[in-house]
Amino acid sequence: MSTAGQNDGAIREVLVVGGGTAGWLTACHLARKLRPTEPGGVRVRLVESPDIPTIGVGEGTVPAVRQSLQYLGISETEFIRECDATFKQSIKFCGWMQDASHYYHHVFDYPQRDPLDLTPYWLMGQAGERSYAETVGIQAAMCDAGLAPKQITQPEFAGVTNYAYHLDAGKFSALLTRHATQKLGVELIKANVEQVHLTPAGDIDRLSTDRCGDLHADFYVDCSGFSSLLLGQALEVPFIDRSDVLLADHALAVQVPYPEENSPIPCETLATALPGGWVWDIGLVSRRGTGYVYSSNHISHEQAEQQLLDYLRASLGERAEQYSARRIPMKVGYRDSFWARNCAAIGLSQGFVEPLEATGLLMFDATARMLAEQFPAHRDLMPLLSERFNHRVRFAWERVIDFIKLHYCISDRDDSEFWRDNRRTETIPETLRENLAIWRHQPPSDYDFSSRLEIFNLENYLYVLYGMNFPTQMDAIGYRYGQPADALKSAQRIAQSAAQAGEHLLSHRELIQRIHQYGLQPI
Amino acid sequence: MSRPVPLTPEAHGKLRVRPGINTARLEGQQLLPVVVHEFHLAGSDTPILFVKNSETGQFETVALLGLSQQENLMIDGGRWQGNYVPGVIRSDPFRLISTSADDENVVLGIDPESPLLGEEGEALFDDKGEITDFLKGRRDALVSYIEHGNITRAFTARLVELDLLAHRELTLDLDGKKSTVSGMYLVDEEKLNKLDDETLLELQKRGFLRAIYAHFMSLNRIHGLARLKIAGDRGEG
Ligand SMILES: Cc1cc2nc3c(=O)[nH]c(=O)nc-3n(C[C@H](O)[C@H](O)[C@H](O)COP(=O)(O)OP(=O)(O)OC[C@H]3O[C@@H](n4cnc5c(N)ncnc54)[C@H](O)[C@@H]3O)c2cc1C
């Protein structure tokens, strides 16, 4: 009997609200775990507005996306062909220091630590003359040489080096939509949600739509983007604004061509610092996606447009003027909780930080998976599970904000208020301040990153700190590192394998072309 | 083998082809492409395996002729050591050349530097510039070889789809020395045995099951290669 069914506390139906990347990835994760097509499985539906567009940006990813694609059963060949995707091995930061010619790579391969951790030797000048990233691995040199991260003979998702992708966000959503509806049993409803009705107790009861009547579910996932329709608006969970730490509040996004049709495709995201923020420049197969992330408290929108245009002129000349950028206001921060009552928020509805380290997809992929794994078997478990979920997700957001802030607060750029303000103590979270105080006197250690929930770890910090010449004083502890000769040898071996990498790797564009032509093998 | 050129009565009217094997081009060639239709024959001489083409990453079916790169133990003293001569060798010095990107249009071509060419042997064109029966026969054989190649690709694609291939290193004992042949893929017998009846029947009807078993049976021929290798090494030493 249906009434008994509704009151027994079992969760039989989930409704995802919003069909951007976050909504579809969440639907995929839920369906993969909750098996809507099996008897006894949970029904998964997704309602998306036919009128409200998705945010339409979000083209950079981190390597964890590979595990997710594989886990969800999406073929890498299909993904690369259908999403205009390219490989990403690094973020190349240009102009983040006063010296305008300075750049560094934050690569995805971890620094080589076996047989010897080269970091302290590099800090003491005993591991050769190269930059930090070039000293501890081959990937920075591979990026500079424009090499692909894998061979055509390697199976899907395997590489010579660790890699992620650049992708077309709209095409990725479309691929996820097909996968979710055709393979995983997610049902799609096209309608505008007009009203959210609560039960007397304050749970979400049902949603009224303009063309599909009322929609009811036992559990709701809010993926409605910045509007945060359910969690923010209906359940009134407050937003914690973090623009006191991360000062950029707008983006100007524009898609532009390559200088020439067959220009090399960079195998890294370019992140170029400008007086009021920084520009992302992401190479897909047939076009680039670029955008200026800036602080409107420090420069006007017109200045921002001019600075972006100047940036684009460097590669496109006068052609740059043909493209007009779209302005996107950015709400920096996160919700006070991410799961309240019978509703969790994933994606922009949950929180947002500027896309400097491509954390968007990473955060909602990780939280969607967490939600799916910890999905309540019973209504009574929700308070306990949601408390854990909120604790974890909040911790992750705070750590992400620390890591993004790091890029700004150890810069020595002194050409504008924006950069100077970014170093003011009161803008730096205390956890980050403490870490930096320690790292002035000893290099970071694994024990500084003790939680399994950290999204960015020791390795990520090392690349940024020492890419930006962070001054760790080694004099007092030099005695701890007694193998300078081995360190030098090890560094030389790495440099040698970097120089040889080109012998067995294709250029990035060439590999992408072959994948389009021949595909990759699953094994 | 050098780049094949299209065959024309103007350029090649006087040319003759003598029978035999162009062993020179096989020297140092560790792998030789084979098609499913000849697995059972080629497999009685050498192992038949799957490898990935280094240019395309696509699986190909090959006969293993040596135990290390650039080694061909099946040629000795300018002579082919097997009982069966694989189709790709028999089609020498002729090749089909695609004239469009999609392989839709092909013309008959020839390896201009093949030692099989000369003034002896079979004529290719008659006095009027018409192609001879000999050349017709060779052309038809090539066309059907290409068709067999298409079926072979369908065969490997199906095996990949069914997740039946597995990467294996073949380890051998060569006179007390361990030697490994890497980069080889085999059909995983356990996975094959777990296929449902319907799929097995499909494989059987398409002739694929027979090819798979020919592949299994051929694997033991690796010991034949090892013997050739040891004999060769001793001979040299
Ligand atoms: C400038 C910028 C750059 C970024 N760069 C990156 C990057 O490089 N890498 C990265 O990983 N992330 C990046 N992000 C973040 C990334 O774009 C988002 O996290 C991602 O696109 C997910 O968005 P979403 O699905 O949460 O929201 P949206 O894409 O906004 O989707 C919202 C969905 O909700 C639906 N909806 C809204 N209201 C209703 C309603 N009333 N009824 C029915 N449906 C409704 C809409 O139709 C839409 O389908 C960037 C973000 C910005 C702003």
Under a CB-based contact definition with an 8 Å cutoff, are residues A68 and A368 in contact? no
- Mean pLDDT over all residues of chain A? 95
Distance CA A358, CA A409 (A): 19
Same domain, A181 and A324: no
Pairing of strands B31-33, B59-64: antiparallel
Q: How many domains does chain B have?
A: 1
Q: Which atom of ligand 1 is nearest to the CA of A53?
A: 47
Domain annotation covers residue A102 = no
Domain annotation covers residue A21 = yes
Probe site for chain A from B31, B51, B56, B62 (most A CB atoms < 10 A): B56
- Dihedral (CA of A192, A195, A198, A199) sign: negative
CATH number at residue A226: 3.50.50.60
Cis ω before A111 (30° cut-off from 0): no
Contact A522 B160 (CB under 8 A): yes
Structure-token pair, residue B200: 């097995």
Distance CA B170, CA B227 (A): 15
Domain annotation covers residue A342 = yes
Neighbouring CB atoms inside 10 A of B66's CB total 20
Domain annotation covers residue A496 = no
More confident residue, B231 or A183: A183
Q: Is the pLDDT of residue B69 over 50?
A: yes
Probe site for chain B from A80, A150, A153 (most B CB atoms < 10 A): A153
> B98-150, pLDDT tens digit by residue?
887 666 788 899 998 999 998 889 999 998 989 999 999 999 999 999 999 99
Residue numbers of A between 115 and 154 with CB closer than 8 Å to B: 151-154
**Residue B234's pLDDT band (boundaries 50, 70, 90)?**
confident
Write down the pLDDT at residue A3. 40
Q: Strands (DSSP E) along A81-158, which ranges?
A: 86-88, 90-94, 103-107
Same domain, A364 and A392: yes
Same domain, A268 and A318: yes
Domain annotation covers residue A455 = no
3-state per-residue secondary structure call for A314-356: HHHHHHHHHCCCEEEECCCEEECCCEECCEEECCCCCEECCHH
Would you say the CB of residue A344 lies under 6 angstroms from ligand 1? Answer: no
- Chain B CB contacts of A519 under 8 Å are 57-58
Last residue of a domain, one of A358, A379, A397: A397
DSSP helix/strand/coil, A500 = helix
Write down the pLDDT at residue A7. 63
Pick the closest to residue A419 from A91, A95, A90 (CA basis).
A95
Contact B160 A521 (CB under 8 A): yes
Under a CB-based contact definition with an 8 Å cutoff, are residues A521 and A514 in contact? no
Same domain, A236 and A306: no
Domain annotation covers residue A161 = no
Which residue of chain A comes nearest to B167, CA vs CA? A523
Write down the pLDDT at residue A440. 96
Write down the pLDDT at residue A5. 43
- Establish if A522 touches chain B: CB-CB under 8 angstroms: yes
> B71-94, pLDDT tens digit by residue?
999 999 889 999 999 999 999 999
Minimal-distance CA residue to ligand 1 atom 19: A360
Would you say the CB of residue A348 lies under 6 angstroms from ligand 1? Answer: yes
- Cα-based distances in Å from A66 to A73, A88, A158, A296, A371: 11, 12, 9, 35, 19
Q: B55 vs chain A: nearest CA distance in angstroms?
A: 7
Under a CB-based contact definition with an 8 Å cutoff, are residues B153 and B37 in contact? no
Q: Is A88 a catalytic residue?
A: yes
Identity of the amino acid at A360 = G
Same domain, A172 and A321: no
Residue numbers of A between 403 and 422 with CB closer than 8 Å to B: none
Average pLDDT over residues A76-83: 97
Same domain, A317 and A180: no
Pick the closest to residue A208 from A221, A229, A192 (CA basis).
A192
Identity of the amino acid at B160 = V
Under a CB-based contact definition with an 8 Å cutoff, are residues A59 and A52 in contact? no
Which residue of chain B comes nearest to A504, CA vs CA? B54
Distance CA B123, CA B130 (A): 11
Contact A523 B57 (CB under 8 A): no
Domain annotation covers residue A20 = yes
Would you say the CB of residue A222 lies under 6 angstroms from ligand 1? Answer: no
Write down the pLDDT at residue B58. 94
Domain annotation covers residue A208 = yes
Say what angle helices A64-72 and A21-34 make with each other, to 10 degrees. 50
Would you say the CB of residue A225 lies under 6 angstroms from ligand 1? Answer: yes
Same domain, A322 and A255: yes
Structure-token pair, residue A328: 């996107």
Probe site for chain B from A76, A78, A152, A504 (most B CB atoms < 10 A): A152
Same domain, A322 and A188: no
Q: How many domains does chain A have?
A: 2
Q: B136 vs chain A: nearest CA distance in angstroms?
A: 33
Element (H, E) at B51: strand B48-52
Distance CA B134, CA A364 (A): 68
Neighbouring CB atoms inside 10 A of A327's CB total 14
Same domain, A324 and A342: no
Which residue of chain A comes nearest to B157, CA vs CA? A521
Domain limits at B121?
Answer: 5-234
pTM of the predicted structure, to 2 decimals: 0.91
Minimal-distance CA residue to ligand 1 atom 16: A58
Residue B115 DSSP code: T
Structure-token pair, residue A48: 């998306």
- Dihedral (CA of B189, B193, B199, B203) sign: positive
Pick the closest to residue A85 from A223, A278, A267, A239 (CA basis).
A267
Q: What is the ipTM of this complex?
A: 0.81
**Residue A6's pLDDT band (boundaries 50, 70, 90)?**
low
Percent of chain A scoring above 70 in pLDDT = 98
Neighbouring CB atoms inside 10 A of B143's CB total 13
Least confident of A34-43, A240-249, B3-12: B3-12
Domain limits at A224?
Answer: 11-59+168-242+332-397
